[in-house]
A = this chain, B = another copy of it.
Amino acid sequence: MPSTPRTLDLASFIVDRSLDEPLHLQIYHGVRDSILNGRLAPGLRLPSTRTMALSWAISRSTVLAAIDQLKAEGYLEGRAGSGVFVSHTIPDRLNCVKSDRAKSDAVPTGGNPSPQLSNRGSSICDEFRIRREYFDHATPFRPGVPAEGTFPSKRWSRLSTRLWRKFECDPPLVVEPMGYSPLREAIAVHLGATRGVSCDADQIVIVSSTQHALMMLGQILLDSGDSVWIEDPGYLRAQAALAAVGAKVEPIPLDDEGIDLEHALRTAPSAKLCYVTPSHQYPLGITMSLSRRLALLEWSARSRSWIVEDDYMAEYRYAGQPLVSLQGLDEFARVIYLGTFSKTFSPALRLGFIVIPQELISAFNAVRSLIDRCPSFIDQAVLAEFMREGHLGRHVRRMRRVYDERRNCLRHALNSEIPCLDLRPVQSGMHTVAWLPSGSDDCRVARHLAEEGVVTFPLSTMCHRPIAPALILGYAGWNRVQTLQQVRRMERSLRTILSEYCS
């Protein structure tokens, strides 16, 4: 222990009027710190407030404010008539812990490189470490980036102003667990008309993202260790979300019709849930065939398992209409349908939804009421109004035109500039798959391109079983100029790295 003065050394104690910190707080902090660092020992008697006030030339009430606060917090204790003392209830132990601190290794220091994470925490970090190089800024051709300047800001702003006025706007005092009713109504109508989804508003649960949806589903439908079928290659974040809730993720290969059901039944016959992207398989863009859809539905009906249909990109289809959803074909209420507005508007909006079977409503209501809530009321209200006024359809049609142009621009540029890339026709979505010459290493290629400022996702990072080398290129976010410029860059750097293939 440091030697402790018999009383508070008023001289050493500066109260500075020039500081922003109010005087009573200066005293409060000064005394508190002296107590905590042991300079003022337990039992020590403080000078009278009058003495302190005089010696610091400040009002006594200021001193009293500080002392009262220190008493309230237990640093000081007053004894009737005999003054104010440093509290005895401060364990000396802490001072020891502190003086140990430098040498002690029992006590971690702030900079500890390996914090005590859980196993799942660590595995998420490892997972991320592998991928992080591909989670980059909004640079062509990063997939999933929407077109700049297309967010309907003016209308959004006008609607929100109007809503604030309309409600005067007290947001509701009690949050609706499942989400803002008018938005749920609007979504139910929209889905019926555009996706053949049959549901009532009370089956709609507003969430902030697909990951959020999957975590809720995991809590309600899965126990840790339960098997879940996912598509291989597939949507990384969905897999991570399912793994995070303790599911045993079973990667199932794909064929031309979609997820390979026979293979799935062989490898994990007792799966509790199947996560699929039937309209536009992520990342390959395969549309699940009708027969595969029906077979999957029959499996879920017979095994009483759940199908999670992630219809993340249905609205961006450039040829034919979007295919009808699995949910719309389902007669046995086994399909849980996920949708998002991240692609329709912006990932910054953080709004999506789940369509659940009637029989799950009470469970979702319970989870929502107890351990989760819906996203921001305000955005929900604005989006509801936006949809109610029929702007969504117009917005989607507009985006579809933009993205179709950008898709064609990229395809033509790649075909003419980099013929050694094999592009299969893509009818929908916001990205395309460029197959590399077999034998090449897509991670190496992607890293090489990243160094040149061209961002792509290597397919193999989305595969559990390697299939063939390919790059995922997002086209939605980039205008003609950006696209052509990046394709030229790509061409230059691929010429060196793929010389043995492209010539």
Question: Residues of A at under 8 Å CB distance from B?
Answer: 32, 36, 68-69, 72-75, 87, 89-91, 93-94, 97-98, 101, 106-113, 115-121, 124-125, 127-129, 131-132, 135, 137-138, 142, 145-146, 148-149, 151, 153-154, 156-157, 160-161, 164-165, 167-175, 208-209, 211-212, 215, 219-224, 226, 236-237, 240-241, 244, 246, 272, 289-291, 294-295, 297-298, 301-302, 304-306, 320-321, 323-324, 329, 331-334, 346-351, 357-360, 362-363, 365-367, 369-379, 477
Q: Is the Cβ of B376 less than 8 Å from the Cβ of A375? A: yes
Copies of the protein in its oligomer: 2
Closest 9 CB pairs of A and B: A171-B348, A128-B366, A74-B290, A348-B377, A157-B164, A121-B220, A89-B291, A138-B173, A110-B333
Query: Are A94 and B297 closer than 8 Å at their CB atoms?
Result: yes
Do the beta carbons of A302 and B106 come within 8 Å of each other?
A: yes
Q: Which residues of B contact A170 (CB under 8 A)?
A: 148-149, 151, 153, 346
* Subset of 7 A-B contacts with CB under 8 Å: A110-B357, A118-B222, A124-B371, A132-B369, A153-B168, A237-B371, A349-B376
Contact of A331 among B72, B98, B359 (CB under 8 A): B98
A365 to chain B, nearest CB (A): 8
Contact status A111-B358, CB under 8 Å = yes
Known A117-B221, A120-B219; judge A91-B295 contact (CB<8 A). Answer: yes
Residues from chain B with Cβ under 8 Å of A289 in the complex: 74, 89
> Taking the nearest CB of chain B, how far is it from the CB of A180, in angstroms?
9
Bound-complex Cα distance A97 to B329 (A): 13
Determine whether the beta carbon of A118 is less than 8 Å from that of B220: yes
**A366 x B125 contact (CB < 8 A):** yes
Given contacts A223-B118, A348-B171, A366-B127, A156 and B164 within 8 Å (CB-CB): yes
A388–chain B nearest beta-carbon distance, Å:
17
Instruction: Give bound CA distance, A419 to B94, whole Å.
Output: 44
Nearest B-chain residue to A218, judged by Cβ:
B118
Q: In angstroms, how far is the closest chain B Cβ from the Cβ of A263?
A: 17
Q: Are A73 and B323 in contact (CB under 8 A)?
A: yes
Task: Tell me if A223 and B120 are in contact (CB < 8 A).
Answer: yes
CA A101 to CA B74, docked complex, whole Å: 70
Known: A110-B357, A115-B359. 8 other contacts (CB 8 A): A90-B290, A107-B302, A118-B220, A125-B362, A148-B170, A156-B164, A208-B208, A224-B246
Contacts of A89 in B (CB 8 A): 289-291
Give the chain B neighbours of A127 by CB distance below 8 A: 366, 370
Instruction: Report which of B237, B334, B371, B375 forms a contact with A240, defined as CB distance below 8 A.
Output: B371
Question: Quick check: B240 and A298 within 8 Å, CB to CB?
Answer: no
Taking A75-B290, A295-B91, A351-B376 as contacts, is the C-beta distance between A153 and B167 under 8 angstroms? yes
A89 vs B295: C-alpha distance in the bound complex, in angstroms? 10
Is the Cβ of B111 less than 8 Å from the Cβ of A359?
Answer: yes
